[in-house]
Chain A
Amino acid sequence: MVENRPWFDFLAHAILILGVILVAFPLYVTFVASTLTYEEIVNVPMPLVPGDQLVKNYSQVLTSGSERGSAAPVGTMLFNSLVMALGVAIGKIVISILSAFAIVYFRFPLRNFFFWMIFVTLMLPIEVRIIPTFKVASDLGLLDSYAGLILPVVASATATFLFRQFFLTIPDELAEAARIDGAGPMRFFWDVVLPLSKTSMAALFVILFIVGWNEYLWPLLITSQESMYTVVIGIKRMIAGGDASNEWNLIMATAMLALLPPALVVITMQKWFVKGLVETEK
C-alpha cells in the first residue's frame, strides 16, 4: 500500500495480533501445563506461568511414560512415528513419481484406464477400505511391525496425480532432445525429470510427512504392543479414563514433543515448500 492511513494500519495490526493470540494461546497453555506438577494443574484456575517441572516431566515421558495410563516411553513412540512418517512420505513420493512417469512418458495398452483407476481411488478415503486392508495386513503377518504401519498407506493417488500434472508441463521437446542425446527412459528420468521435480518433491514431502505423522486410525488398528505405538496413539492411551485420573502434565509434555518434528520439518523446509507450490523451474 502506498497510501498512509494510520487507522487502517492500526486495524490491520489489531486483527493480526488477535489472530496470533487465538492460535498461540492453546499452545502456550499446553506448554505451561507440561511444566507444572499434577496437583498444580488440577487446581482451578490453572496457573498461566510456567512451573519448575519442565525437565522432570519431559525426561519422565521420554524414558518411562506415565504411571497411570500407558507406561510406554514416549522416546520409542517418537521413533516409531518418525519411522512411519518418513517411510510414508518417502515411499509415497517414490511410488507416485515412478507411476506418474510411466503414465506420462510411456505408451502402453490401457494407459488411460490405469490412470483413471488411480484417479478414482482419490475418492475413496482410507476409512472406506480399512476392514479389508486390515484383513490383508493381518494375513500377511504385518501386525505390530513397521512394514504394517507403512505399506498399506504408501500408495497415493493424490501425489501421483500431482506429479502427472507437473510432468505434463515439462515440454515434450526435452524428452525428445534427451532421446536424440542418447538417454534411455530411466536415464532421462534420473538426469532430467528428477532434478526438475525437486521443488515439487519437497513440497509434497512436507505435506506427506505431516499426514503420516498425524495418521491415527491406521496405527490404532495395526498396533497392539506398546513398543509399536506411534506418539499420536500414545497420547490417546495415556488418557486412561475420568478426568482426575489423567496425568495432564505428562500428557501435555507428550503433546509438545509430538508437535516438534512436524513443526521442525515445516520450518526447515519452508522455503522449498513455498517454491514448490508457486514456481516450476523450466
Chain B
Amino acid sequence: MAEISLKNVKKSYTKQLQVIHGVNVDIADGEFIVIVGPSGCGKSTLLRMIAGLETISEGEIAIAGKVVNRVEPKDRNIAMVFQNYALYPHMTVYENMSYGLRIRRMPPAEINERVQRAAKILELGSFLDRKPRALSGGQRQRVAMGRAIVREPAAFLFDEPLSNLDAKLRVQMRLEIQKLHRELKTTSIFVTHDQVEAMTLADRMIVMNLGVVEQIGRPIDVYDDPASLFVAGFIGSPAMNFMAGRRVGEAVEVGEGVSVPLPAALREMAGDGVTVGVRPEHLVIAGGSGPTLSLKVDTVEALGADSLLHCKLGPHALVVRVDGHETPEPGSPLAVSAMPGKTYFFDTASGKRL
C-alpha cells in the first residue's frame, strides 16, 4: 500500500524526440488510476517509467514517499501485469506465481500459503500444475494477476492487460479486476486505450494525448466536464458531435443559417473560431428548450435498446441517440434540440474548452 507521486516527469529519447512532456499527478493510497489515450500517446511509456523499465529523463517519481528514479524495478515494490501476460512458458502456474517469492528467498511454507490464497481468489486452484500453454487466454491473464498478487506489492501496474482477450471475456475480466481491487485495496495504475475500461474501472482517470496530460479527474467529471476538444471526443461512445463554426456577435454560426447562441459567461473568452460540441445522448427529438436543429437522417444503426441516427446538418455529420422503438426511416427529416446545459464550446485553434 502506498501513494505514488509524479513530479514534472518527462521522457525523451533524443534531444528532438520527446515523448512525455511533463506529467504531474499525485495518486492516493488504494486509488485505482486509469491512464487512457490513443496508441502512441505515451501512456505505456509512463507506466514503464513508474515500473522502472524505462529511465526517467527529467522529473521525479516517488513511491510511498521515496524517490525511485534510480531504484531497480525489483526494489520498487511494485508488480506488473503485461499485455501478453509474459508468463514463463516452461514453468507451471504454481512456479510462475511463486517465482518472484522464491528469488526473494521466502520460506517455502509462506510461499505456498500465499500462492494458495491467490489461487483461491482467482479460482486457479485446479490449474496450479499446468503449463501456461495449456490454459486459455482468460486463465493466463488470471495467472499473470496471481503472480502480481502473491507479491503483495505497494502497487499494481497493468499494461493493457485485457486487449488480448475477446470481447466477452474482456467484460468479465474487467469486473474481476474491479472486484479484486475492492478486496485488496492496493494502489493500481491501469493503462488502456479503451475508454469503456477507463470509465468503468477508474477512481480517477488520466487522459493523455501526444505525451501531454489533457485531463485528470473522476470518470463522470471527465465525461460531464471535458477540458478540451480531444478529451470530449475521446471519452464517451459514440463520440461527441462537433461543429466547427465562426463567432458572429453573441452566437456561433455553424452552417448556412444555423447558429447556436453563446452563453453569456463565455462571450468574453470566445475568439473567432469556436467549435460547438454536443453528445449524441444529449440531443433529443424536438420539444426541449433551446434552438431546434433540422437534420436529415442519413443512416440508422439499430442496436435494439437504442438506435444511432447518423444525420446531416449542412456540412456537419451528427449522431443522435434515440430510443430503439422511435427510430425514424433513413432519409426522413428530424428536428432535434440539445438538452439544457449540455452544449460545449471549444476554442477551435487551441482545442481548449471555453
Contact = CB atoms under 8 A, between A and B. Distances in A.
Nearest to A174: B86
Top-8 shortest CB links A-B: A173-B86, A181-B100, A182-B74, A177-B86, A195-B90, A182-B103, A173-B82, A180-B73
B51 interface: yes
Interface of B: 51-53, 72-74, 78-80, 82-84, 86-90, 99-100, 103-104, 133, 147
26 contacts: A171-B84, A173-B82, A173-B83, A174-B86, A176-B73, A176-B80, A176-B82, A179-B52, A179-B72, A179-B73, A179-B74, A180-B51, A180-B53, A180-B74, A180-B78, A180-B100, A181-B74, A182-B74, A182-B100, A183-B74, A183-B99, A183-B103, A187-B103, A192-B88, A195-B90, A281-B133
Contact of B88 (A174, A179, A180, A182): A174
Interface of A: 171, 173-174, 176-183, 187, 191-192, 195-196, 281-282
B79 A180 contact: yes
Contacts of A282: 89
A168 to B, nearest CB: 16
Most chain B C-beta atoms within 10 Å of own C-beta, residue among A177, A179, A183? A177
Contacts of B100: 180-182
A192 B104 CA distance: 16
Contacts of A180: 51-53, 73-74, 78-80, 100
Nearest to A179: B73
Nearest to B48: A176
A250 B100 CA distance: 61
A103 B86 CA distance: 22
A282 B83 CA distance: 15
B74 A281 contact: no
A176 B100 CA distance: 12
A181 B84 contact: no
A173 B161 CA distance: 13
Nearest to A176: B53
Contacts of B89: 196, 281-282
B52 to A, nearest CB: 8
Contacts of A177: 80, 82, 86-88, 147
Most chain A C-beta atoms within 10 Å of own C-beta, residue among B52, B53, B83? B53
A195 B100 CA distance: 17
Nearest to B153: A180
Most chain B C-beta atoms within 10 Å of own C-beta, residue among A181, A187, A191, A192? A181
Contact of A191 (B51, B78, B99): B99
Contacts of A183: 74, 99, 103
Nearest to A282: B89
A195 B131 CA distance: 14
A174 B51 CA distance: 14
Given A176-B80, A191-B88, 19 more contacts: A174-B86, A176-B82, A177-B82, A177-B86, A179-B72, A180-B73, A180-B74, A180-B79, A180-B80, A180-B100, A181-B74, A181-B99, A181-B103, A181-B147, A191-B99, A192-B90, A281-B90, A281-B133, A282-B89
A22 to B, nearest CB: 42
B86 A171 contact: yes
B186 to A, nearest CB: 15
Nearest to A192: B88
Nearest to B133: A281
A269 B31 CA distance: 55
Contacts of A182: 74, 100, 103-104
Contacts of B79: 180
Contacts of B52: 179-180
A282 B140 CA distance: 13
Most chain A C-beta atoms within 10 Å of own C-beta, residue among B79, B83, B87, B100? B100
A42 B161 CA distance: 77
Contacts of B74: 179-183
Contacts of B133: 281
A179 B103 contact: no
Contacts of A174: 86, 88
A176 B52 CA distance: 10
Contacts of A176: 51, 53, 73, 80, 82, 86
A180 B72 CA distance: 8
Most chain B C-beta atoms within 10 Å of own C-beta, residue among A173, A179, A191, A282? A173
Nearest to B144: A177
A161 to B, nearest CB: 23
Contacts of A173: 82-84, 86
Contacts of B88: 174, 177-178, 191-192
A191 B79 CA distance: 19
Contacts of B78: 180
Contacts of B83: 173
Contacts of B87: 177
A105 B86 CA distance: 16
Contacts of B99: 178, 181, 183, 191
A153 B52 CA distance: 42
A31 to B, nearest CB: 43
Contacts of A191: 88, 99
B266 to A, nearest CB: 48
A174 B147 CA distance: 13
A171 B85 CA distance: 10
A53 B88 CA distance: 57
